[in-house]
Structure 1
């Protein structure tokens, strides 16, 4: 555990996290430790609240404690709701709470001894000039303000120093295009990289599946959502990535149109024949009537048997749930929703119908049978629907969908691979080189070929794993499982983490098909492909933690992240409140007073330290703007170790 001269930060975090995770522990812990025993002020405030709640027989679980602190106005002082979830997620095991309490109590006793020593020293030198004592005290504070004596940073959620999309793990023809598009549009490579996977999913979804072992087969369709603010050139990236899909759709339409026209003509002819036979039977009498009825029945059956193929459609945009169901039925259960906007989430939530309809998006990911009711014909069953989603949404939409009924509870958010890249607006290069023609042509030709190669598969092609690849998947499962339990790194996103291994297998299937464009269906998936898919999966795991953290954050925490981004981009080491107000004044932070809560959050997390405010130079003058010192580690990018990295290192 991380040690500190005055207190043990990790022990305090583990203790409070254990009490949040197992509220029954408060019976013993509240007697053992007082709020003053905690070295970090935010922890003292939090512990005082938890002890008061325990005394009032109120459970101290994270949700109840968050609500209590919000009601008392102390939530910002302790770092907001995300910090409480951070505490819970970092508990090795709640069973060791007594041990953590002993460490905290021991440090508290040592601080008291140190305080007593200071008092004795002051008494021993009580004959000194008081002004000299004050000057010495200020000198010690100045030494601390120059960067010494800082406590370790408390992470402000999971959003700092996230990994960038590993485009080098894609097949060369795909990775080259992703890098070139990101350079030309001056957008985060995460957007083009995620869209590349969505395009592969559009080509292969419903047409191929990976056989892991036994009856476990994973389809190859993905749900991917990239989170970027307005003005991030999302549409430009879509325009560079999607055209080969649309060109392939046009080719498929041209190929099937003669069949459609012939079927439509046949349907008309047989329909007319059935009508004439029915009229003849209706006007007949006697024995002839029975014969004509039999002939009319056969004609009607012939007309009904004529099937008119649907016009091929690979992609939809802002589609309703009902329309998506209808298209899936027409297209053999295959469809992609690709859009640079996130309006579809509001549509799913019931913008038009007033009732959320998630069924098609839940079953369309899992491949569970979907029943489609038609007004013009009998209900149809889509045996194995395969829906793809590739969306770019604004951060506000991400936060909104977290509050939409059923999105989390029914598992839709758990099916999404999130990317939360760093915004490049304000730092983009003007006049960037366009995508080289050779790179764009190769990308278009290969993606077009992949779509057409797989388009004819009515039953999905089965891609087996090699024994080595299957063993690697087993190792992924062994590594992930402990992260999902109480105290694990993914305990608070267990719904998402439970689908991690399946997502990696799906990505592996897509990489395999992209590497073997015309014969991938006849080859097993190699272990090296699964390893690269796992590395891409780790990228999405880090971003999922950030996305879910942001969805649960309060506004003060989000504003704190805005200030921290400004500090990091400008390499700011000291600043005044007036300076940050002038730089970041917005509709979210309209007044100087609105900066106090987020600055308090940053102080509580150890990112900032407010210096003493000197007295005004003249009586009645306005006091100087508060000055803040930035923790030196803010400008030292931390090496983020993902929970799964231990397997790869081994």
Structure 2
């Protein structure tokens, strides 16, 4: 046979390149593809090297592999370091590594079948008896390995995103985050995100990050952690938010004398204005009345210029949009809504008013001017509002908010940094060590210093990027833009992805202020700090994909899950396209052709295989295409890992 055996060089390159970029993938991919499955001998040898390094517990990244091959003296024979870079460049996204591996394995099986056919062809052409050829063919088929069903690739290959990078936080914050996570036996994601919200509360409205030109980002964040009930969310909030309340008390004590003085001055001025008005009213002659009226007007205007400061308030819990606007105006534009529950979302959706009201939260994140006019109250104006949001919600709340009117369309969800950590309930260690007093004290002292230090600023501190940090920012923008294209990996969350670079800059500003107490406002943000912010930003990017996937942001994936649910209910091992179209709702699939992209996706992820076409007999319409179902889809719940959870990739 002279035809080129089945193979896909691009897929082979993408498999190896994915592991060079993300060495953690090797454990999963090695279960799908073996060295002998690669068509190119160079790829087979590279795969053997990668699996050996993994088995020995040694790193498998580009630098380590290049050094290992150099030690073996085989790097030149395998294409040298430039070819390793070529392999990396061939990877569109490491999230699809399992898919590339299945392509390689499938082509290997096809080559086995082709080889089997070649041997039968040679045997048939050798003049052997027909019955002997048939018997040999049956023996070969019996000896041929059955085509295995590799584990299906989760519809979202992002089901176990990376843990929170605690080391990227300033030391006094990182130590507190780690200690709280240990004591409460909760994922560090929860305490890490709430700590960022605490820093945002301290700096919100008091600092801006100057990126370039007129592009500035306020130093406030919206963070939402998704965890099931019983995850000790309240304990984590208490540990990390209580120091903010203590800092609030410090501000109150510092402001109280000014409040007393202003109240006294206002009473004196008001009485003086009343006396002047009474004198003007009692004047007899016109000339005297005009002079006294002028004095009364001046006294009244002097009284109006006296403003009594409001008692400082940093944190609110479950507030309406109207209350949030009033508090922002009262507090000079700074306010945080911190809560271990997600009730604020129902409030924003119109629980009390009957209509969604998101404007305060949208403008409070962006820093856009906020002006509220009401019939019963004076107009409220906030020039640069800075609202912080720090919540921990249950998974059901995450799914609910995606359906709330305006939450996606008006951009609220695009402003949220989501975290969907692994649940630790059922695996928590009993009797964990409490938070060391020195760590808790340092956290409280530094957080209070940050709050108090920034509270005295008349105008927000401007934090410019150093030239090196600006280069890193440009790299993030260049990396992000292709992901937002219609075919990019963030196409279904383009609203969130469009704000990603700005979110990284905001995180960098908060890390900078926390790291450089008290001189942060006087120094530019360094490249080191920006790199730490980039690590946290990458964490939130992975978790955003998971969160939006859980919210059904990708309609194709949502449709694929709908089809899988029908297969699980019906327990069908094989079906035709006509069967599926007949069984499903016309509200979701209006015509049979609408099923094609869904079925293609399920085949690509290994949940389905095309069934052999039945023999066509006579005239008439061709049989409807059929599919075979992966056995794991049909197993009873609880006997295997749920297909919707999948393994990390």
Q: Give the deviation of 1:422 after TM superposition.
A: 0.6
Q: Give the deviation of 1:482 after TM superposition.
A: 1.1
* Deviation string, structure 1 residues 529-579 (Cα, Å, up to 9, x no partner): 111100110000000000011100759949989xx9xxxxxxxxxxxx9xx
| CA–CA separation in structure 1 for the residues paired with 2:198 and 2:252 | 19
Aligned to 1:267: 266
Q: Give the deviation of 1:381 after TM superposition.
A: 2.3
* Deviation string, structure 1 residues 487-510 (Cα, Å, up to 9, x no partner): 111111111111111111111111
Deviating more after overlay: 113-122 vs 194-203: 113-122
* Distance verdict in 2 for CA 1:158–1:324, change over 3 Å: farther
* Deviation string, structure 1 residues 286-324 (Cα, Å, up to 9, x no partner): 313323322221221122111111110111110111111
Please give the residue correspondences for 1:368-387 in structure 2 after superposition, counting only pairs within 5 Å.
368-373=368-373, 378-387=378-387
SS of the aligned residue for 2:209 comes to: strand
* Distance verdict in 2 for CA 1:169–1:158, change over 3 Å: same
Contact 2:160 2:647 in 1 (8 A): no
Root-mean-square deviation (CA), in Å? 4.1
Contact 1:371 1:380 in 2 (8 A): yes
Please give the residue correspondences for 1:345-424 in structure 2 after superposition, counting only pairs within 5 Å.
345-373=345-373, 378-424=378-424
| CA–CA separation in structure 2 for the residues paired with 1:125 and 1:156 | 51
* Deviation string, structure 1 residues 147-171 (Cα, Å, up to 9, x no partner): x633474332144221000001111
Alignment of 1:525 with 2:546, yes or no, is no
Provide the TM-score with structure 2 as the length reference: 0.67
Return 5+ residue gaps in structure 1 as ranges: 15-89, 93-102, 565-576, 578-600, 614-623, 639-650
| CA–CA separation in structure 2 for the residues paired with 1:435 and 1:139 | 62
Please give the residue correspondences for 1:103-252 in structure 2 after superposition, counting only pairs within 5 Å.
144=146, 149-151=148-150, 153-252=152-251
Q: Give the deviation of 1:397 after TM superposition.
A: 0.8
Please give the residue correspondences for 1:470-489 in structure 2 after superposition, counting only pairs within 5 Å.
470-489=470-489
SS of the aligned residue for 1:338 comes to: strand
Aligned to 2:631: 610
* Deviation string, structure 1 residues 110-133 (Cα, Å, up to 9, x no partner): 9998999999999999969x9999
* Distance verdict in 2 for CA 1:548–1:126, change over 3 Å: farther
| CA–CA separation in structure 1 for the residues paired with 2:229 and 2:168 | 29
Alignment of 1:438 with 2:438, yes or no, is yes
* Distance verdict in 2 for CA 1:629–1:155, change over 3 Å: closer
SS of the aligned residue for 1:327 comes to: helix
SS of the aligned residue for 1:242 comes to: helix
Aligned to 1:49: none
Aligned to 1:282: 281
Aligned to 2:76: none
* Distance verdict in 2 for CA 1:629–1:261, change over 3 Å: closer
Alignment of 1:313 with 2:313, yes or no, is yes
Deviating more after overlay: 111-120 vs 349-358: 111-120
Deviating more after overlay: 515-524 vs 535-544: 515-524
Contact 1:349 1:355 in 2 (8 A): yes
Contact 1:342 1:392 in 2 (8 A): yes
| CA–CA separation in structure 2 for the residues paired with 1:156 and 1:121 | 43
Contact 1:206 1:334 in 2 (8 A): yes
* Distance verdict in 2 for CA 1:136–1:115, change over 3 Å: closer
Contact 1:550 1:558 in 2 (8 A): no
| CA–CA separation in structure 1 for the residues paired with 2:637 and 2:260 | 76
* Deviation string, structure 1 residues 17-66 (Cα, Å, up to 9, x no partner): xxxxxxxxxxxxxxxxxxxxxxxxxxxxxxxxxxxxxxxxxxxxxxxxxx
| CA–CA separation in structure 1 for the residues paired with 2:404 and 2:342 | 14
* Deviation string, structure 1 residues 266-289 (Cα, Å, up to 9, x no partner): 222322332343344334443133
| CA–CA separation in structure 1 for the residues paired with 2:224 and 2:632 | 42
* Distance verdict in 2 for CA 1:399–1:139, change over 3 Å: farther
* Distance verdict in 2 for CA 1:605–1:440, change over 3 Å: same
Return 5+ residue gaps in structure 2 as ranges: 15-90, 94-103, 572-600, 608-628
Aligned to 1:82: none
Q: Give the deviation of 1:610 after TM superposition.
A: 2.3
SS of the aligned residue for 2:173 comes to: helix
* Deviation string, structure 1 residues 245-264 (Cα, Å, up to 9, x no partner): 11000010011112112212
Contact 2:116 2:140 in 1 (8 A): no
| CA–CA separation in structure 2 for the residues paired with 1:403 and 1:636 | 28
Aligned to 1:516: 516
* Distance verdict in 2 for CA 1:379–1:629, change over 3 Å: closer
* Distance verdict in 2 for CA 1:627–1:236, change over 3 Å: closer
| CA–CA separation in structure 2 for the residues paired with 1:631 and 1:136 | 37
| CA–CA separation in structure 2 for the residues paired with 1:371 and 1:274 | 30
| CA–CA separation in structure 2 for the residues paired with 1:116 and 1:611 | 31
Aligned to 1:19: none
* Distance verdict in 2 for CA 1:470–1:550, change over 3 Å: same
Contact 1:150 1:631 in 2 (8 A): no
Aligned to 2:468: 468
Deviating more after overlay: 244-253 vs 154-163: 154-163
Q: Give the deviation of 1:635 after TM superposition.
A: 9.1
SS of the aligned residue for 1:309 comes to: coil
Alignment of 1:294 with 2:294, yes or no, is yes
| CA–CA separation in structure 1 for the residues paired with 2:231 and 2:484 | 34
Q: Give the deviation of 1:234 after TM superposition.
A: 0.3
| CA–CA separation in structure 1 for the residues paired with 2:419 and 2:216 | 26
| CA–CA separation in structure 2 for the residues paired with 1:517 and 1:211 | 19
Contact 2:504 2:537 in 1 (8 A): yes
Please give the residue correspondences for 1:484-499 in structure 2 after superposition, counting only pairs within 5 Å.
484-499=484-499
Provide the TM-score with structure 1 as the length reference: 0.67
Contact 1:609 1:629 in 2 (8 A): no
Alignment of 1:501 with 2:522, yes or no, is no
Contact 1:365 1:387 in 2 (8 A): yes
